[in-house]
Amino acid sequence: MAIYLPELDPENTLFPEPETALDEPNGLLAFGGDLQPARLLAAYRQGIFPWYSNGEPILWWSPAPRAIFLPNEFKPSKSLRKFYRKSGYQITLNNACHDVIRQCADCRSPEETWITEDMIQAYQTMHNLGHCHSVEVWHQDKLVGGFYGLQIGSVFCGESMFSLADNASKIALWFFCRHFSDQGGTLIDCQVMNNHLESLGALEIPRAPFMQQLLQQRAAIIKPNSFVPQTLKIPIE
C-alpha cells in the first residue's frame, strides 16, 4: 500500500498539524528537512520528533497514544530503594551528555538503532546550545546508565536511555523525576510505550490531552540553573 507523506520545506521550519499523522504506521507525519536546532525545537514544541534509520530520509513522528511520566507522581518501589542504598551508585546531571548519547547508540545493533551519526551530532549540538540534557549513573567512576532528552518549558522530552548495570536506568529516572519536579517540571514525554517504560510506570494518554498539556507548558519557566552540571541526591528513608 502506498503511503503519501508531506515533504518539509527546506526554507522554513513549518510542520503539518500533528493530528494529521498516519494511524499506520502510528504517528508518521512527514519526511525531509534537516536536524538543525531551529527545526528540532520547532518540532518538539509541537509534539513531533525525528526517528529514522540509516539510508532513509529523515522521518518525523507524532504518535497516539503518547507515553508519559508525571514526575511528581513517580514512586520508587521499596526494593529499588533498598537496592540503591547498597549500590554505591552516584547520579549526576549534565556531566557527560555526549557520552550518554553515544552509549545509547552503541548499546543497540546498527540494524536496531535510530541514533545515527547525524542524530548524535544534532543532539550534541543541542546540548552545547543548552537544550539537550542528560542524567548519568556512575559506579566506581564508570558510566553504567543514563538517558538524555530536550527541555521544552516545563516538559522534558526523553529521547533514549541505556543501562549497563542492574537498575541503573530506573534509578536515573527516579532521581531525575524528583529533581525535575522540584524545579517546576510537570511532564516527561517518552514518545512511544514499550515494555521497559511500562515496567518503570509510564502511562499512556491520547494525543489531544497530551497536546493540550504540551501547548500549555512549553512556555513555562522552571527554576534557574535547573540543568547546571550537578550531583543529584535524594534523602532515602
User: Of 187, 182, 201, 206, whose CA–CA distance to 27 is shortest?
Assistant: 206
- Residue ranges of E strands in the chain: 28-31, 49-50, 59-61, 66-69, 90-93, 132-139, 142-152, 155-163, 187-191, 203-205, 230-232
**So what's the pLDDT on residue 111?**
61
User: Is there a contact between 47 and 18 (Cβ–Cβ < 8 Å)?
Assistant: yes
Give buried/exposed letters for 188-210 (b at 16+ CB in 10 A, else e).
Answer: bbbbbbeeebeebbbeebebeeb
Amino acid 200: pLDDT: 86
| Contact status, residue 203 vs residue 67, Cβ threshold 8 Å | yes
Nearest CA among 170, 172, 169, 129 for reference residue 151? 129
> Going residue by residue through the chain (237 aa), what tens digit of pLDDT does each one get?
567 899 999 999 999 999 999 999 999 999 999 999 999 999 999 999 999 988 899 999 999 999 999 999 999 999 999 999 999 999 999 999 999 999 999 987 666 668 999 999 999 999 999 999 999 999 999 999 999 999 999 999 999 999 999 999 999 999 999 999 999 999 999 999 998 888 888 999 999 999 999 999 999 999 999 999 999 998 776
**pTM listed for this prediction:** 0.95
Distance CA 161, CA 164 (A): 10
The answer as to CATH 3.40.630.70 being correct for domain 67-231 is yes
Which pLDDT score is estimated for 223? 97
Location of C-alpha cell 549540538: 125
Q: What is the pLDDT of residue 196?
A: 85
Burial class (CB within 10 angstroms; exposed 0-12, middle 13-18, buried 19+) of 235:
exposed
| pLDDT at 199 (0 to 100) | 86
d(CA 2, CA 233): 52
What pLDDT sits at residue 152?
Answer: 98
Q: Is 20 in contact with 29 (CB distance < 8 Å)?
A: yes
Instruction: Tell me the three cell numbers of residue 182.
Output: 522540584
pLDDT reported for residue 2? 67
CA distance linking residue 160 with residue 189, whole number of Å: 11
At 1 the pLDDT is 58
* Structure confidence at residue 110 (pLDDT): 63
